[in-house]
Amino acid sequence: MLLRRYPEARAIATPGSVELAQEHGKALPVFRKWFPGQMPNTLTLPEPYEDETFTLEGHELRIIEQGHTDGKNSTSLYVPSIDLVVAGDVLYNQCHAYVADTTPKIRENWIAALDRLAALNPRTAVAGHKKPGAPDTAECIETTKRYLTDFGRLQEKASTDRELFDAMHTLYPDFAAKQAWLMFGMS
């Protein structure tokens, strides 16, 4: 859609993101069922971009490859000139995180990814997933870290999935997205 609007633009992504887009492209029929009328007829994949930085309208953007967070090959962007982090799937803001496919090691990597974002001291942090109306502040970096830590701690103690689900919703009662599949991968 962006390339139709801006035909002179160059669509780029990290090699890992391109690989993930290719995998997700195979599931296009499923996505069309989930998002009727919102998916294009054909997907144009971005070209792999190997550098760690690029320039957009005179601003340097730094690519931060984050590894596996809520999914594999997560990537964040940092715009130093305006203290902006566009965190992608690394960051959640006042909504329950997709932890169904995580292990303690993956959550440890995810927390390290959040630490990398926090070390940038951004003024603005845009989460890949957020409760509508939540402010784009860096505070959600620490909240996401705490959420992941709480999930791991409660998962060790819980005797059933339902107990874990209820415990997380007790700790985070105002968070959006209360679907069980976020924690357990079930529909």
Q: Residue 164: its pLDDT value, please?
A: 92
Whole-number Å distance between alpha carbons of 113 and 67: 8
Q: Residue 58: its pLDDT value, please?
A: 94
- What is the average pLDDT value for the chain, to the nearest integer? 92
Q: Is the model more confident about 84 or about 20?
A: 84
Task: Tell me how far apart the 2 most distant CA atoms of the chain are, in Å.
Answer: 56
Q: Residue 187: its pLDDT value, please?
A: 46
pLDDT, tens digit, 9 for 90 and up, residues 158-185: 999 889 999 999 999 999 987 877 777 6
pLDDT, tens digit, 9 for 90 and up, residues 18-71: 998 888 888 888 888 888 888 777 778 899 999 999 999 999 999 999 999 998
The percentage of the chain sitting over the pLDDT mark of 90, rounded to a whole number, equals 72
The C-alpha angle with vertex 104 and arms to 14 and 93, in degrees rounded to 5, equals: 60
Q: Residue 38: its pLDDT value, please?
A: 83
Question: Given the DSSP bridges, would you call strands 124-130 and 59-67 parallel, antiparallel or unpaired?
Answer: unpaired
Residue 186 — pLDDT band, cuts 50, 70, 90? low
Whether the model pTM is above 0.85: yes
Q: Do 92 and 140 meet the contact criterion of CB atoms below 8 Å apart?
A: yes
The percentage of the chain sitting over the pLDDT mark of 70, rounded to a whole number, equals 98
Token pair in block for residue 162: 């339902």
- DSSP notation for 26-81: TTHHHHHHHSTTTS-SS--PPEE--SSEEEETTEEEEEEEEESSSSTTEEEEEEGG
